[in-house]
């Protein structure tokens, strides 16, 4: 069985992998998107389906006010004592010298839940993980943040502390067990026990194009840990910039029932138009390479001989675009339909931003067969932004929606949006002009300012009453909007927009942006009246 990478396309970073019997699960970061943490399920490591997002209520997660690329960082999913254990960080501040990063634990008897309310652990750093030792004791690991360190490397090493199940809190001494290598920025710890050693896998070099996975080991839980002589088990930093999988790092390891070992890791795929670009000095420029799909999850086969450090089966540290899968029968899942209607529950691929009160943003019951989105705060809001969207999973795709809205003025607008964050979006909106006539407008913010850089009125003006179809077509770095009045033919909006700006690297660059491109439906009412728009369908198709 051949497996082509990535196995989780689109925004799915920081994978934590778990096997329970013949079932495999990967938990990935969701940052400011709600509900929190994506968990995918597989039976063959090749085919994956979204099975749950466990952080779905205020007793587990409330991200109102969290910054873009804050929120849920690097979850860790484990299984012990008949329970699933999920550790995660909620980042409230991520800029400047300080980080406000709070670490929590939830548990469940089944992967589908019910998941418990959160237990607070600590706030000393991010990327927490839970290690269940053979003697039954449990240990929390996380990187520690040292705001007193000069420069950009404020990573103070990997710390460990015991977790008391009975007291539901951390207890005992906090020990710093690993300071990392000269590659710096040591984070993302996962601990394994094998052949009389504790193996510590970490991520280093930041999450940009110097990212890497580094391993160390010790006979004692508390160290000292000896770094692998090869240093990095996985990295793309020394590969040709044309290599398919860039930014490889932040990894986790799973063993199959047959004793085979595989590593999952984050990576990105820069657009062909930007791949391999270099500056005039011949140095690769992160500002030129752009990956709208964000950081994705790929998988590599390992060779892990007794008493030795593991190695990629194909040799070297660079990730392979395709691997030989495990000795398991293929187990595909039924594909989701391209066209979605809104009857019953919200389709599982859709999420919204930050709030545990989705009823404030949208309703599936106020109008039968429609998704009613209530116009809330502006596209730059970090509190109540009424946006319902799904991940972009392909470099070339088309999306369409049908909307009914009667805006009374220009403060009420709604439509189809390509979204990364508050200063990276392209938005085709139905709104009204100052005379109250219904019109179409494009708002575009190409990673340059937190307000629209381009506001483009579209003819015809006024727009006829009735439903309006809105569409977009993305080909790599280019996005074009189109529209159709009720019963009419599609009309190109007449402008080509920079879709590469809807990416990690645009703006302040990788290492500062952590999500990926979404496409979806939104409504805004900056008057505060909460006037709605009704969406009748949504279609997403790869091209």
Question: Rounded to an integer, what distance in angstroms lies between the CA atom of residue 190 and that of residue 128?
Answer: 9
Q: From the candidates 162, 349, 384, 475, which is the catalytic residue?
A: 384
| Spacing of C-alpha 267 from chain mean position | 12
Question: Rounded to an integer, what distance in angstroms lies between the CA atom of residue 65 and that of residue 324?
Answer: 44
Judged by DSSP in three states, 6 sits in coil
- From 307, 120, 449, select the one nearest 128 (Cα to Cα): 120
CB 422 within 8 A of CB 414: no
DSSP 290-349: --TT-SEEEEEEEE--TTS--EETTSSSSPPSEEE--SS-----PPPPSEE--SSSPPTT
| Spacing of C-alpha 159 from chain mean position | 25
- For the chain, the residue count is 543
CB 8 within 8 A of CB 294: no
| φ and ψ at residue 258, rounded to 5 degrees | -85, 0
Which helix (H) or strand (E) segment is 16 a member of? strand 16-20
Question: Rounded to an integer, what distance in angstroms lies between the CA atom of residue 222 and that of residue 244?
Answer: 38
CB 319 within 8 A of CB 267: yes
CB 41 within 8 A of CB 362: no
CB 26 within 8 A of CB 16: yes
- From 335, 249, 243, select the one nearest 298 (Cα to Cα): 249
| Span between the terminal Cα atoms of the chain, in Å | 26
Which residue do the tokens 């930014």 mark?
Answer: 247
- From 228, 214, 226, select the one nearest 185 (Cα to Cα): 214
Catalytic site includes residue 384: yes
- List C-alpha distances in Å: 372 to 79, 338, 363, 536: 39, 20, 5, 9
Q: Which residues contact 188 (CB under 8 A, 6 or more apart)?
A: 14, 74, 127, 143, 201, 202, 203, 213, 249, 250, 251
DSSP 120-156: EEE-S-S--EEEE-TTS-EEEEEEEE-TTSSSS--EE
DSSP state at residue 508: T
**Beta strand spans in 184-270 (E):** 187-194, 197-204, 212-218, 226-235, 246-255, 261-268
* The token pair that represents 68 in the structure block: 């873009």
For the annotated catalytic residues, the residue numbers are 384
């Amino acid at each position: 069985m051949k497996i082509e990478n990535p196995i989780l396309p689109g925004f799915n970073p920081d994978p934590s992998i778990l096997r329970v019997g013949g079932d495999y699960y990967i938990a990935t970061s969701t940052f400011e998107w709600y509900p929190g943490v994506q968990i995918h399920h597989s039976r063959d490591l090749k085919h994956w389906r979204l099975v749950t997002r466990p952080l779905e209520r205020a007793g587990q997660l409330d991200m109102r006010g969290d910054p873009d690329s804050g929120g849920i960082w690097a979850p860790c999913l484990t299984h012990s004592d008949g329970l699933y254990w999920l550790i995660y960080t909620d980042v409230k501040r991520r800029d400047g010298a300080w980080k406000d990063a709070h670490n929590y634990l939830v548990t469940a008897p089944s992967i589908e839940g019910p998941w418990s309310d959160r237990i607070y652990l600590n706030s000393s750093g991010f990327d927490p993980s839970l290690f269940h030792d053979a003697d039954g004791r449990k240990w929390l690991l996380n990187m520690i943040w040292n705001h007193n360190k000069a420069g950009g490397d404020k990573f103070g090493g990997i710390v460990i502390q015991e977790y008391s199940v009975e007291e539901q809190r951390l207890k005992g001494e906090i020990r710093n067990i690993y300071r990392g290598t000269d590659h710096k920025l040591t984070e993302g710890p996962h601990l394994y026990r094998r052949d009389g050693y504790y193996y510590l896998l970490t991520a280093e070099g930041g999450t940009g194009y110097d990212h890497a996975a580094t391993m160390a080991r010790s006979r004692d839980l508390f160290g000292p840990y000896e770094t692998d002589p090869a240093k990095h088990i996985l990295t793309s930093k020394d590969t040709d910039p044309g290599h398919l999988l860039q930014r490889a790092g932040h990894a986790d390891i799973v063993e199959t029932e047959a004793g085979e070992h595989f590593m999952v890791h984050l990576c990105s795929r820069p657009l062909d138009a930007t791949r391999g670009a270099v500056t005039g000095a011949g140095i690769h420029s992160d500002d030129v390479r752009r990956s709208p799909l964000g950081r994705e999850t790929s998988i590599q086969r390992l060779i892990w001989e007794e008493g030795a450090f593991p190695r990629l089966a194909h040799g070297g540290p660079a990730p392979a675009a395709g691997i030989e899968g495990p000795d398991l029968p293929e187990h595909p899942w039924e594909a989701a339909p391209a066209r979605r209607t809104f009857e019953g529950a919200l389709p599982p691929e859709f999420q919204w931003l930050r709030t545990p009160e989705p009823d404030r943003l949208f309703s599936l019951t106020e109008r039968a067969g429609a998704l009613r989105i209530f116009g809330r705060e502006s596209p730059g809001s970090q509190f109540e932004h009424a946006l319902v969207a799904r991940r972009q999973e392909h470099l070339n795709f088309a999306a369409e929606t049908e909307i009914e809205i009667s805006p009374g003025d220009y403060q009420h607008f709604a439509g189809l949006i390509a979204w990364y964050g508050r200063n990276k979006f392209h938005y085709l909106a139905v709104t009204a002009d100052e005379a109250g006539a219904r019109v179409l407008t494009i708002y575009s913010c190409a990673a340059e300012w937190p307000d629209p850089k381009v506001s483009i009125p579209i003819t015809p003006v006024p727009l006829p009453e009735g439903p309006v179809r809105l569409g977009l077509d993305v080909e790599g770095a280019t996005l074009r909007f189109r529209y159709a009045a009720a019963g009419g033919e599609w009309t190109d909006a007449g402008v080509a927009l920079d879709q590469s700006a809807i990416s990690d690297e645009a703006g302040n660059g990788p290492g500062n942006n952590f999500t990926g491109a979404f496409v979806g439906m939104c409504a805004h009412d900056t008057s505060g009246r909460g006037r709605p728009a009704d969406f009748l369908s949504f279609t997403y198709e790869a091209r």
